[in-house]
Homo-oligomer: A and B are copies of this chain.
């Protein structure tokens, strides 16, 4: 091995989730929204002047940032935008978690937190969720270098109430607390209202789920002006122009259409509720979901077997071969037709096993 190879940053290579692409498949594995982006987004794309692409985008992405500030009723200097919430979260880890003390996040949560910690050499500890996959808030009272809570959590789909979060934040006034709300728009309660109470609270959201724009890569964060300035300072020191011209304009259009947003999220919540009933009849159980997915386990058939059976019918759901959750399927809530197809295959498979 040459000397330059020895100085390569050590990472456990992260393998991005499978992105199958075959005719007739039903894709319920990456929590994408089954409905298209808002009509205004489609119109803005069609009317986009390609000549503009020769110019650098506005580095502050202010058309988008200010639209978000308006919509969520926060200050213009309380918004940060990035290339998907992964970029926003990764940059937050780099910016805020430099104390040398371990940061804390649950043992079962979004699979990128430990990856970012490893990448930036941040020590971490992972307090266990209880046997119902609920946060034990006392676990977050100890000295630490930061706290990260996905709420609702993935892949469990559970949303903790604001009192629990508030208690955790109260006990952590010396570090930055990040609440990752990628899934909050499907029935959860946002902590945005707390950013004016706690200057160390950062709330992160995304366009990938509720706004049907995973393909556009837009994430954002709300927090105290000082937090946002620190994030922007680091962002400008890495790449000033992150969001491209189309992302800024299309993102803005997506936020503007509150009616369409509410219509889509309501449809998904309605479908979720109906499908949860049908899964129950088939012998599944699951936590109460406040997300656009259901985290389900079957009373007799192993999850991995069901995962494979569905796959053979070109229905893709997510299966994690990890301790404590290796008997669960994470099933994205798709359209009613897609969910009917899922239920049909499951019903037949389970019936034939009896």
Residues of A within 8 A of B (CB): 2-5, 7-9, 11-17, 19, 27, 30, 32-37, 41-42, 45-46, 48, 50-59, 83-84, 86-87, 90, 94-99, 115-116, 118-119, 145, 173-176, 199-200, 208, 212-217, 226, 230, 233-234, 236-247, 250
Contact = CB atoms under 8 A, between A and B. Distances in A.
Contact of A250 (B11, B16, B53, B96): B53
Determine which residue in A4, A7, A34, A240 has the highest number of CB atoms from chain B within 10 A of its CB, and name it.
A4
Contacts of A32: 54-56
Contact of A241 (B13, B84, B233, B239): B84
Contacts of A33: 54
A198 B17 CA distance: 33
B30 A50 contact: no
A213 B54 contact: yes
A31 to B, nearest CB: 10
Contacts of A212: 53-54
22 contacts: A2-B173, A2-B174, A5-B226, A8-B95, A9-B234, A13-B236, A14-B236, A14-B237, A17-B240, A32-B55, A36-B50, A36-B51, A37-B50, A37-B53, A53-B212, A53-B214, A53-B216, A54-B213, A55-B214, A83-B244, A118-B237, A216-B245
Given A8-B98, A238-B119, A244-B247, A215 B86 contact: no
B95 A242 contact: no
| Dominant secondary structure at the A interface | loop
A325 B42 CA distance: 47
A241 B84 CA distance: 8
Nearest to A45: B50
A215 B3 CA distance: 38
Contacts of A145: 7
A242 B83 contact: yes
Determine which residue in A94, A242, A244 has the highest number of CB atoms from chain B within 10 A of its CB, and name it.
A244
B97 A58 contact: no
A16 B86 contact: no
Given A9-B98, A96-B7, A83 B239 contact: yes
Determine which residue in A115, A236, A250 has the highest number of CB atoms from chain B within 10 A of its CB, and name it.
A236
A86 B53 contact: no
A198 to B, nearest CB: 10
A35 B14 CA distance: 40
Contacts of A7: 96-99, 145, 175-176
Nearest to A115: B237
B234 A119 contact: yes
Contacts of A247: 244
B215 A54 contact: yes
Contact of A84 (B2, B118, B239): B239
Contacts of A55: 27, 32, 214-215
A325 to B, nearest CB: 21
A156 to B, nearest CB: 21
Contacts of A233: 11, 13-14
